A and B are shown apart, each in its own frame.
Chain A
Amino acid sequence: GAGVSQTPSNKVTEKGKYVELRCDPISGHTALYWYRQSLGQGPEFLIYFQGTGAADDSGLPNDRFFAVRPEGSVSTLKIQRTERGDSAVYLCASSLEGQQRGSSYNEQFFGPGTRLTVL
């Protein structure tokens, strides 16, 4: 595809349920990022993948959140035992390379997001 795609665009679930959010990055992009954006706030970093491995998962709020990228392309963000406070837009972004010291730019291209609502 031409850009980053995310599915579903909207997800409504009940408190305590399990959800999976999918991200398809731009073909050839090795780096993939997940962010969470609450209403009226800027995106908040969750996790960053370089290839198949999570290079930085320090933004995951707790152990209910987990993300995988088994083949270095598509990524899935998994949330167990969802809580109402998990309601937000979950954004995915990809870039050609992960950011390294000394590099000038590494533009991240964002998907449209998945709006998660936990009732």
Chain B
Amino acid sequence: KNQVEQSPQSLIILEGKNCTLQCNYTVSPFSNLRWYKQDTGRGPVSLTIMTFSENTKSNGRYTATLDADTKQSSLHITASQLSDSASYICVVSFDRGSTLGRLYFGRGTQLTVWP
């Protein structure tokens, strides 16, 4: 069972509109949560990183929120642009023992922005 669930699976919006993507994770203890943007045929690029003590983090038109109590995060994109068309992946890093080396990825939300 995937420990990081994202919704919606895909989303189409018009240029200039806002949208919000959701992420739920199920396993703790949790170290940090990241949102990545992945363009087709490219590797993921980090947008935001938050620890469990942070509630919100912004990066330009991208704002991520985190509720560690409910294990939910959202990524809000304002004033969307055509270049925002990509897959947005929620990634959770879990604390395991003294070191940890793996990230758990959601399946991503495929966002398409139309002119």
The B interface, classified by DSSP as helix, strand, loop or mixed, is: strand
Could you tell me the distance between the alpha carbons of A100 and B93 in the complex, rounded to whole angstroms? Answer: 11
Instruction: Tell me whether A41 and B107 are in contact (CB under 8 A).
Output: yes
Q: Residue B31 at the A interface, CB < 8 A? A: yes
Could you tell me the distance between the alpha carbons of A15 and B18 in the complex, rounded to whole angstroms? Answer: 46
Q: Residue A25 at the B interface, CB < 8 A? A: no
CB 8 Å contact bits of A22-40 with B (1 = contact, 0 = none)? 0000000001010100001
B76 to chain A, nearest CB (A): 20
Instruction: Tell me whether A99 and B93 are in contact (CB under 8 A).
Output: yes
Query: How many residues does chain A have at the interface if contact means C-beta atoms less than 8 Å apart?
Result: 31
Chain B residues near A107 (CB, 8 Å)? Answer: 46, 49
Contacts A42-B105, A42-B107, A104-B51 hold; do A112 and B98 have CB atoms under 8 A apart?
Answer: no
Contacts A42-B106, A42-B108, A105-B32 hold; do A100 and B43 have CB atoms under 8 A apart?
Answer: no
Chain A residues near B51 (CB, 8 Å)? Answer: 104-105
Instruction: Tell me whether B100 and A101 are in contact (CB under 8 A).
Output: yes
Closest residue of B by beta carbon distance from A54 = B101
Q: Residue B66 at the A interface, CB < 8 A? A: no
Instruction: Tell me whether B101 and A55 are in contact (CB under 8 A).
Output: yes
Instruction: Tell me whether A110 and B95 are in contact (CB under 8 A).
Output: no
A54 to chain B, nearest CB (A): 9
CB interface residues, A 51-100, toward B, < 8 Å: 55-56, 58-59, 91, 93, 98-100
Could you tell me the distance between the alpha carbons of A43 and B46 in the complex, rounded to whole angstroms? Answer: 14
Contact of B42 among A104, A108, A112 (CB under 8 A): A112
Chain A residues near B108 (CB, 8 Å)? Answer: 41-42
Contacts A42-B89, A42-B108, A105-B32 hold; do A31 and B42 have CB atoms under 8 A apart?
Answer: no
